[in-house]
Structures are given as C-alpha cells and as structure tokens.
C-alpha cells in the first residue's frame, strides 16, 4: 500500500530513507523474501515509485483510505491467487520472518483474513483471501471506509506480530525514535 497522501510526513513515505534504504524498497525486498510474487505498489506516483523495484497499480479509489487499496489488490489478484499479502509501505521494520507465520497460517486457516496483531489488529499487515473480494468490495460500495470495520464483517484470525515490526513511520519525528 503506497497510495496515501503522506500529509503528516509532507512527502511520499515510500521514498523516505530509513537506514539507507527507501521504505518502499525495503518493503519490496521484505515481501519478496517472504515469497510474495509478484509484488506491486497499490497507489502512488508511478514515476517516483518505479525505481523502488515493483510495478505500480492505480488505487481504484484514491483519497478514500486504505480499504480502497485492499479492494484494488483483491480485484487485481482475484483470478490468479488464493490470497494477497497486504502491507503498508510505512512499516520499515517488518521482516520476512514477521510475515512468515501470517502466510503459513493463511495457507491452512480457511479464513477471510489472517491479521497481524500487536497491541491491536494491524489490517495493513495481513493476508487477505481473494475469496473475500466480493464481500470486501460490497462493504466498500455500501460506504464502509474503515478497514477495521470491514474486518468485523469477515472471518478473521489473528497472528501475533511484534510492535516493532508494525511500527509506522508517519512523521519526520517518527524517524528519530
């Protein structure tokens, strides 16, 4: 997920460098190490994101929040994959080892979404079943914009992830912590 306005950061978060690597490039590498193929950015400026190593797909509902990006990803892979790993590009400390248990659980759980959970559910660190695509789209079309709200309508299972793994970098001050 790379389509947010980055209003608190003041610039595209995918391009913000953490430990010498742009957050978007870090996420592409993490997803590939976790076995995800293909890896795509949903949303964002293709010209800016192209050097980060993945294709860019337009968000079908820009400015409508991350649920539109999830719908976009599910629609994109509905006929070619059983599930989609959805992560936000602003979690630079997430590793393939963090994603592994979510992907493994999704392969056997038979639920709509396997959600990473630290102190709370992290739906932008989750494995979404493409079988839930129609229900997620229907919720979006009804006006649901809360990604947590749509989880209430789906069969979910939580898998523990560390708070450090899902720590978001939303502001320049977050870089210093």
**pLDDT score, position 21:** 95
Q: Looking at residues 88-109, what average pLDDT do you find?
A: 95
Domains of the chain (ranges plus CATH)?
13-175 (3.90.550.10)
Dist CA 135 CA 128 (whole Å): 12
Q: Is the dihedral of CA 162, 51, 81, 35 positive or negative?
A: negative
Q: Is the pLDDT score of 3 beyond 80?
A: no
pTM surpassing 0.85? Answer: yes
Dist CA 149 CA 145 (whole Å): 8
**pLDDT score, position 13:** 84
Q: Looking at residues 56-81, what average pLDDT do you find?
A: 94
Q: Is the pLDDT score of 12 beyond 80?
A: no
């Amino acid at each position: 997920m790379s389509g947010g306005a980055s209003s608190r950061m003041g610039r595209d978060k995918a391009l913000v460098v953490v430990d010498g690597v742009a957050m978007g490039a870090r996420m592409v590498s993490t997803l590939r190490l976790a076995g995800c193929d293909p890896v795509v950015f949903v949303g964002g400026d293709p010209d800016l994101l192209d050097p980060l190593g993945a294709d860019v797909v337009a968000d079908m509902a820009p400015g409508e929040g991350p649920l539109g990006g999830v719908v976009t990803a599910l629609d994109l892979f509905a006929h070619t994959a059983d599930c989609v790993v959805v992560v936000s590009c602003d979690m630079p400390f997430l590793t393939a080892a963090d994603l592994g248990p979510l992907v493994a659980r999704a392969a056997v759980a038979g639920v709509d979404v396997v959600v990473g959970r630290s102190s709370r559910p992290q739906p932008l660190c989750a494995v979404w079943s493409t079988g839930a695509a129609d229900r997620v789209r229907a919720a979006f079309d009804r006006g649901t914009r809360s990604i947590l709200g749509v989880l209430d309508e789906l069969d979910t299972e939580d898998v523990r992830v560390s708070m450090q793994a899902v720590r978001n970098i939303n502001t320049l001050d977050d870089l210093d912590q």
